[in-house]
Amino acid sequence: MSDAAQSDAARSDAARSDAARSDAGQIYPLGLQVTGRLVVVVGGGPVAARRVRSLLDAGARVRVIAPHVVLGEQGIPVASETPDPVDGEPAPGTVQWVRREYRTGDLDGAWLAHTATGSAATDQQVADDAERARIFCVTAGDASVGSAWVPAVARTTLTDGAEVTVAVTAGRDPRRARAIRDAVAGQLQSGALPLRRQRARGGATPGRVWLVGGGPGDTGLLTARGRAVLAQADVVVVDRLGPRALLDELAPEVEVIDVGKTSGNHPVPQHEINALLVQHARAGRDVVRLKGGDPYVFGRGGEELAACRDAGVEVEVVPGVTSAVSVPAAVGIPVTHRGLARGFSVLTGHDGAATVPGGPDHTLVLLMGVTHLADTAAALITADRPADTPAAVVEDGYGPRQRVTVGTLATIAARAAEAGVKPPAIIVVGDVVRLSPAWPVP
């Protein structure tokens, strides 16, 4: 080697040593576009295979240099095998395997190098060659030897199709980086982070609609998918019984439209709600229709879905925890129980409940039935369903006024009136009511 070359090598080695000693906070974070570019991976073990898989996913041309590889065992196909690099480069997204030990010169033409050989001497040689060739190098064995680091990565595809990539480095502590990565990924999936699009859609691109079941009202019972789409909404059309506390978490610029109904008072008719969803989506906004319970359990979700589809608006249903099952459970009443109830029916309190067959061993769950409770209870008394069939009224399930009133079909209306029961409330009829802690012990 000439004196000039030796001097250059010494300067390179010194610069790399200084970099290794520098504080990790001085790392310059950068995302690399490796699609169609040659990346050389030295080593063929499991660590190298993980690097290869990520590079292939990114569309790189990958050349692996190692006498033995586990790529096939990891489900990574090798497109070509040669004892020496051939003219040209592997095709994008493919692996070329050079079946021998690493040699100086193997990095020619590479944009990036990864070395994971398990040999400190070989990794050092690759890093030295990369430094002289001004190629960034990742070393798996000793991170301080290399000039680049692979972060712990989490990727999430948002509702508008955008991919959010979170890359974490933690002072060359990969376990800490992975722990932080996992925590951030969990918040991305739960909607706890600000995921809403900040730039308006270009052109006439329409928005989308999500019909989200909010559960019985407790914010913790909204699904992770529901929270994620809510965090990305431009407009939220909300019912009275949805988890309204979540609205306080929305950005100030999110438009909230209250279409809540109460008994006998429907200030916004259903056809106008349908029109609102279509109108805002056509204007390029992402719309969440936040409903109580599940959209398809007496929630008119089917009507809203049909309206959006008829208008050519993309729509998705995000199921919710239905109050028909969850609210009885909140006070210790299962809708089915071995030896007591083999099935259950869910109806509205004004839907002819008396016509439902079955006796006390078939649970009836009545929604929106408090106003007509006396008439309904009387109509439910049949030869198969006697007057002493247990019944319960559960008010404000999972809410601050949660309360259960129990009795029989013969007494429940009077007891509810005495207790001053108010909507929202769910009525449960059947032997399963005896399992509630509120049921008097004989």
CATH code of the domain covering residue 351:
3.30.950.10
Residue 77 covered by a domain: yes
pLDDT of residue 265: 59
Is residue 298 within 8 A of residue 372, CB to CB? The reply is no
Q: Is the pLDDT of residue 369 over 60?
A: yes
Residue 171 covered by a domain: yes
Q: What percent of the chain has pLDDT over 90?
A: 60
Q: Report residue 24's pLDDT band, with 50, 70 and 90 as the boundaries.
A: very low
Q: Is the pLDDT of residue 142 over 50?
A: yes
Domain residues for 166?
152-190
Please give the helix or strand (H or E) that residue 181 lies within, else none: helix 174-190
Indicate the residue among 278, 306, 321 that finishes a domain: 321
Residue 125 covered by a domain: yes
Q: pLDDT by residue (tens digit) across 104-132?
A: 999 999 999 999 999 999 999 999 999 99
pLDDT of residue 87: 60
Task: State whether residue 283 is helix, strand or coil.
Answer: coil
Strand residues in 292-430 grouped as ranges (E): 314-318, 343-348, 362-367, 390-395, 403-408, 425-429
Catalytic positions: 239, 261
Tokens 């070395």, residue? 115
Q: Are 310 and 335 part of one and the same domain?
A: no
Q: Are 240 and 301 part of one and the same domain?
A: yes
Residue 113 covered by a domain: yes
Q: Is the pLDDT of residue 364 over 70?
A: yes
Q: Compute CA distances 39 → 61, 64, 134, whole Å.
A: 6, 9, 14
CATH number at residue 48: 3.40.50.720
Q: Give the rounded distance of the alpha carbon of 108 from its chain centre.
A: 43
Q: Are 239 and 178 part of one and the same domain?
A: no
Q: Are 313 and 403 part of one and the same domain?
A: no
The answer to whether the bond into 77 is cis (omega within 30° of 0) is no
Tokens 């509702």, residue? 159
pLDDT of residue 178: 87
pLDDT of residue 201: 65
Residue 309 covered by a domain: yes
Number of domains in the chain: 4
Q: Is the pLDDT of residue 12 over 90?
A: no
Q: Are 182 and 242 part of one and the same domain?
A: no
Residue 200 covered by a domain: no
Q: Are 335 and 363 part of one and the same domain?
A: yes
Per DSSP, helices labelled H in 283-382 are 301-310, 323-330, 373-380
pLDDT of residue 203: 58
Q: Report residue 82's pLDDT band, with 50, 70 and 90 as the boundaries.
A: confident
In terms of pLDDT, which residue wins out, 5 or 398? 398
Q: Are 16 and 138 part of one and the same domain?
A: yes
Q: Report residue 263's pLDDT band, with 50, 70 and 90 as the boundaries.
A: low
Both tokens of residue 224? 């992770």
Task: State whether residue 49 is helix, strand or coil.
Answer: helix
Exposure b/e, 81-99, CB count within 10 A at least 16 = b: eeeebeeebbebbbbbbbb
Is residue 433 within 8 A of residue 333, CB to CB? The reply is yes
Average pLDDT over residues 28-45: 92
Q: Are 13 and 92 part of one and the same domain?
A: yes
Q: Report residue 309's pLDDT band, with 50, 70 and 90 as the boundaries.
A: very high
Residue 398 covered by a domain: yes
Lowest mean pLDDT among 73-82, 277-286, 408-417: 73-82
Indicate the residue among 321, 345, 363 that finishes a domain: 321
DSSP secondary structure code for residue 218 in this structure? -
Average pLDDT over residues 346-353: 76
Is residue 293 within 8 A of residue 322, CB to CB? The reply is yes
pLDDT of residue 28: 83
In terms of pLDDT, which residue wins out, 169 or 377? 377
The CA distance from 222 to 186, in Å, is: 15
Residue 442 covered by a domain: no
pLDDT of residue 141: 84
Average pLDDT over residues 161-179: 82
Q: Are 100 and 9 part of one and the same domain?
A: yes
pLDDT of residue 10: 46
The whole-chain average pLDDT of the chain stands at 87
The CA distance from 384 to 386, in Å, is: 6
